[in-house]
Chain A
Amino acid sequence: MHRFANPARFLRLAKVILPWSSAIAVLCLGAGLYFALAASPADYQQGESVRIMYVHVPAAWMGMFCYTAMAVFSAMALIWKHPLADLLAKATAPVGAAFTFLCLVTGSLWGKPMWGTWWAWDARLTSMLILLFLYLGYMALANAFDDPERGNKAAAILALVGAVNVPVIKWSVDWWNTLHQPASVVKMGGPAIDPSMLVPLLLMAVGFKAYWITVLILRGRSEIAAQKVRIIRMAQIHAASRGE
């Protein structure tokens, strides 16, 4: 793990992974959307509305997955002071926030025809909304200080504190009565979802993850480049002031 904390090594690795991750993202999302919107059957109860699920569920997984990744990066940044860890945590936050938002919106669109309401303050929906606020708080806090070091540290602590929400989201439907249905895929006794519907769901999930890796590499790269530029500029200013 410590080997990859070196920016030069990250850049070399990124170069190898980037074509693969972007190709997998495009292929999986293309195939996944085709199956989800056209080639998969309608549900016996929900009819065509089931197609919302192919975006909603992978987006929800992404929201929780990105937060977990962000918390792990933040812990690495706090404990080992890896120069890359802060950067990757900050690159993950907007991706996670966007997918969490997508999950809430698609869920709302599904809830109206199925449940009969856009929103319910049950444990699952509320904890997911808290997740979105945690992302927004993280991004705001990371940029709230003049000294980026202090901002990173404060945001990393928030990311770790907020991590307790992730298991609460996952098991909220089992611990309390909720309007939201219990888990269909990751549960005891195997998935309660037909294979013809599980395949597009998993394709979308893999596509989203590959998208995250691609964004992480692109943002990591540009941040490393920006830091180099900053260092060179500082050196120039120092040199110029000494020359006078």
Chain B
Amino acid sequence: MTRKQRRLYFVLLGMLALGAAVALVLTAISDSLVYFYSPTDIVTQRIPEGRRMRIGGLVEDGSVKKDGKTVTFKITDITNSLPVVYSGILPDLFREAQGVVVEGRMETDGQFHASEVLAKHDEKYMPKEVADALKKSGQWNDGKTPK
């Protein structure tokens, strides 16, 4: 084996070992790498009240109620939903059936008190005319709210 070949195998083996190590570490700490939990995670895993966390899901249709500065709505992943209370400025994209991430605490009243509401944007990009045409022809499928 020449020195060049030896170096080649050394680099390849090194990259393979490193890749495997990183993959193992990332799988092991996967739970703490998620940016938010789903309402189902909260319901099934019984996360203690008062712990600060983020929940992501859709704003349930017809659940948004505004009372002065305070907004209440339900965040859902279709299977489960959670009531959320928030007072503050909502992002422009906030609306019903829109994906959002809320940050705050579960309180003893069974409601999630959010201190921050972020809107999630999906991967679709299209001009308004195209979106309107799709909606008109019944081809509109936002992939998140199956009817």
Chain A residues whose CB sits within 8 angstroms of the CB of B91 once the complex forms? 113-116
Size range of the chain B interface in the assembly: 35 or more
B-contacting residues, A94-140, CB 8 Å: 113-117, 120-123
A239 within 8 A of B: no
Specify which chain B residues have a CB less than 8 angstroms from the CB of A192 in the assembled complex.
123-125
Residue numbers in A under 8 Å from B33 (CB-CB): 123, 175-176
Chain B residue at minimal CB-CB distance from A74: B11
Partner of B124, one of A114, A122, A193: A193
Instruction: Say yes or no: is B127 at the interface (Cβ < 8 Å to chain A).
Output: yes
Q: Does B118 contact A (CB under 8 A)?
A: yes
Residue of chain B at shortest CB distance from A164: B22
Residues from chain B with Cβ under 8 Å of A168 in the complex: 22, 26
Give the residues in chain A near B37, CB-CB below 8 Å. 177
B121 touches A181 (CB 8 A): yes
> Are B11 and A183 within 8 A (Cβ)?
no
Q: Which chain B residues lie closer than 8 Å to A182 at the CB level?
A: 123
Q: How far is the CA of A41 from the CA of B133 in the complex (A)?
A: 15
In the bound complex, do residue A176 and residue B131 qualify as a contact, i.e. CB atoms below 8 Å apart? no
Asked if A42 and B7 sit within 8 Å, CB to CB, the answer is no
A114: contacting residue among B38, B119, B125, CB under 8 A? B119
A146 at interface by CB-CB < 8 Å: no
In the bound assembly, the distance between CA atoms of A110 and B100 in angstroms comes to 16
The answer to whether A78 and B118 touch across the interface, beta carbons within 8 angstroms, is no
CB-based contact B125/A176 at 8 Å: no
| A37 sits at the interface (CB 8 A) | no
How many angstroms between the C-alpha atoms of A179 and B36 in the bound complex?
Answer: 8
Judged by DSSP, the binding face of B is: mixed
Which of A24-32, A43-51, A204-212, A216-224 interfaces with chain B?
A43-51
Report whether over half of chain A's contact residues are helix, strand or loop; otherwise say mixed: loop
Partner of A183, one of B4, B8, B18, B123: B123
Contact residues in A for B28 (Cβ distance below 8 Å): none
Contact A42 B127 (CB under 8 A): yes
Report which residue of A46, A168, A178, A197 has the largest number of chain B beta carbons within 10 angstroms of its beta carbon: A178
Contacts of A196 in B (CB 8 A): 127
User: Quick check: A46 and B127 within 8 Å, CB to CB?
Assistant: no
* A residues near B122, Cβ cutoff 8 Å: 181
Cβ of B126 and Cβ of A75 under 8 Å apart? no
A78 and B15 CA atoms in complex are apart in Å by: 13
Q: In the complex, are the beta carbons of B15 and A41 less than 8 A apart?
A: no
Alpha-carbon distance A163/B127, docked complex (angstroms): 37
Interface residue? A8 (CB, 8 A): no
* Interchain nearest-CB distance for B7 vs A (Å): 5
28 A-B residue pairs with CB within 8 Å: A41-B129, A42-B127, A42-B128, A44-B130, A44-B132, A45-B93, A46-B121, A53-B125, A79-B4, A79-B7, A113-B91, A113-B92, A114-B93, A115-B91, A115-B118, A115-B120, A115-B121, A160-B11, A176-B35, A178-B35, A179-B120, A182-B123, A187-B123, A192-B123, A192-B125, A193-B125, A194-B125, A197-B127
Q: Which 4 A-B pairs have the closest CB atoms?
A: A116-B91, A41-B127, A44-B131, A122-B35
B interface, CB within 8 angstroms of A: 4, 7-8, 11, 14-15, 18-19, 22, 26, 30, 33-38, 56, 89-93, 101, 116-132
Instruction: Using A79-B7, A113-B92 as known contacts, list a sample of 6 further A-B pairs with CB atoms less than 8 Å apart, ordered by residue number in A.
Output: A42-B127, A43-B125, A45-B93, A46-B125, A114-B93, A179-B36
